[in-house]
């Protein structure tokens, strides 16, 4: 099989441009007085209106803010549901939620909900807002909340006077497509000239999550196990159900117990049911799909002998928890989204077939690009990690 620069089994994965790209033109002299003395910063808001994995990959930024502003209360503004990623994260004071369901609840409910959220944010009197999102909603908050200072990114598609007007300053990210998302997120700190930078992704869980998982393990008689999360948000990121069945059959024939996890979506549950239907020893397969909160899934991943999955939030959780992983990867940007600073083997569909450019993916396609990856290659990668653990 061809070598690929992002396929490795090392303990650390560095971005091709592994350093923060702090632009030289930023100077502390350009900051308002309140930001020149760190102890003056009391309240910070970080805006990230994206998906679960994106939210998890903001944790190095949150850790860095806490290290440099230990006295500050750090809030986040997220899409509803994604706050589960940060539920047990001690750096976060409060998660404010954008309820996307309001747009289907009628105009009156939408106006009421938006007003309530705005007033709650306005009451915090933020000294600093960091906008990691490209939505106009986020830019509007940067202006209308009247913080002491606000920083956003200079996106090519937002190269307008109004976007600039909404922020105190913008950070250029010309090489974002070539660098990991963790580093791109941290680049927003460039104007602040911080020296204590954390690149560690943090996936936290609580004691109640541990107790809940203990109950599940006792209920299903689970001890040592490999964990497979085969599903992802989009079908194009997944592997054929029969391929996963063949992989699981190999593992159970070797005496392994396999945990299957996934979300509550009917399509995911049906997909995992198809995988189990192809298993020759289903008694050695435990299906926990749809039963776990994200911090509970984190407990199981943290205690797994090996994680096997695709380009999904679970993959990023495994990397954060330093659980060895075998990852099947499709047309998403490898440089931006590979497992960050973690032990893993990555099998890229681009070794076996032509893939669309990451910016030209049709997310509604029924084409499973990962089907080009042979089952044997995945089995070999998994067995390599199993051999190491013995």
- Over the stretch 98-144, which tens digit does the pLDDT of each residue have? 998 887 788 888 899 999 999 999 999 999 999 999 999 999 999 99
Q: What is the mean pLDDT of the chain?
A: 91
Percent of the chain residues past pLDDT 70, beyond the cut: 92
Instruction: State pLDDT tens for residues 156-214.
Output: 999 999 999 999 999 999 899 999 999 999 999 999 999 899 999 999 999 999 999 99
Q: How far apart are the first and last CA of the chain?
A: 25
Given a cut of 50, whether residue 269 has pLDDT beyond it is yes
Integer Cα distance of 281 and 294 in angstroms = 28
* Residues 6 or more apart whose Cβ sits within 8 Å of residue 47: 76, 77, 129, 130, 131, 132, 133, 138, 141, 142
Is pLDDT larger for residue 33 or for residue 245?
A: 245
DSSP 48-104: E-S-HHHHHTTHHHHHHHHHH-TTSEEEEEEETTGGGGGTT-TT-SEEEEE-GGGGG
Query: Which of the four pLDDT bands, split at 50, 70 and 90, describes residue 18?
Result: very low
Percent of the chain residues past pLDDT 90, beyond the cut: 82
What pLDDT sits at residue 12?
30
Give the residue-averaged pLDDT of 278-283. Answer: 97
Instruction: State pLDDT tens for residues 309-350.
Output: 999 999 999 999 999 999 999 999 999 999 999 999 999 999
What pLDDT sits at residue 351?
94
Query: Which of the four pLDDT bands, split at 50, 70 and 90, describes residue 9?
Result: very low
What domains appear along the chain, each with residue ranges and CATH number? 28-192 (3.40.50.2000), 207-389 (3.40.50.2000)
Give the residue-averaged pLDDT of 65-92. Answer: 97
Integer Cα distance of 379 and 248 in angstroms = 9
């Amino acid at each position: 099989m061809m070598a690929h620069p992002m396929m490795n089994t090392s303990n650390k994965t560095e971005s091709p441009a592994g350093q923060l790209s702090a632009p030289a033109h930023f100077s502390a002299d350009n900051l308002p007085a309140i930001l020149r003395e760190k102890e003056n910063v009391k309240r910070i808001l970080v805006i990230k209106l994206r998906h679960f994995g994106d939210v998890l990959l903001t944790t190095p930024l949150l850790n860095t803010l806490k290290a440099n502003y230990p006295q500050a209360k750090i809030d986040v503004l997220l899409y509803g549901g994604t706050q589960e990623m940060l539920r047990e994260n001690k750096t976060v004071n409060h998660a404010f939620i954008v309820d996307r369901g309001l747009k289907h609840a009628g105009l009156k409910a939408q106006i009421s909900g938006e007003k309530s959220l705005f007033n709650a944010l306005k009451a915090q009197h933020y000294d600093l807002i960091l906008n990691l999102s490209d939505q106009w909603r986020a830019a509007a908050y940067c202006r209308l909340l009247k913080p002491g200072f606000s920083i956003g990114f200079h996106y090519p598609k937002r190269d307008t006077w109004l976007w600039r007007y909404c922020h105190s300053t913008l950070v250029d990210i010309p090489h974002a497509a070539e660098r990991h998302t963790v580093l791109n997120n941290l680049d927003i700190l460039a104007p602040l000239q911080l020296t204590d930078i954390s690149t560690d992704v943090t996936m936290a869980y609580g004691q109640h999550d541990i107790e809940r998982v203990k109950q599940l393990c006792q209920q299903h008689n689970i001890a040592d196990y490999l964990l497979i999360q085969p599903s992802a948000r989009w079908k194009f990121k997944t592997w054929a159900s029969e391929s996963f069945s063949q992989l699981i059959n190999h593992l159970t024939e070797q005496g392994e117990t396999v945990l299957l996890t996934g979300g509550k979506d009917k399509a995911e549950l049906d997909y995992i049911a198809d995988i189990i239907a192809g298993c020759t020893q289903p008694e050695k397969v435990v299906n926990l799909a749809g039963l776990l909160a994200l911090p509970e899934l984190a407990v199981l991943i943290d205690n797994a002998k090996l994680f096997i999955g695709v380009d999904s939030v679970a993959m990023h959780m495994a990397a954060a928890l330093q659980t060895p992983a075998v990852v099947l990867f499709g047309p998403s940007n490898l440089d931006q989204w590979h497992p960050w600073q973690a032990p893993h083997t990555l099998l890229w569909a681009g070794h076996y077939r032509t893939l669309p450019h990451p910016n030209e993916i049709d997310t509604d396609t029924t084409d499973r690009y990962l089907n080009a990856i042979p089952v044997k290659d995945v089995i070999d990668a998994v067995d390599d990690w199993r051999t190491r653990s013995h």
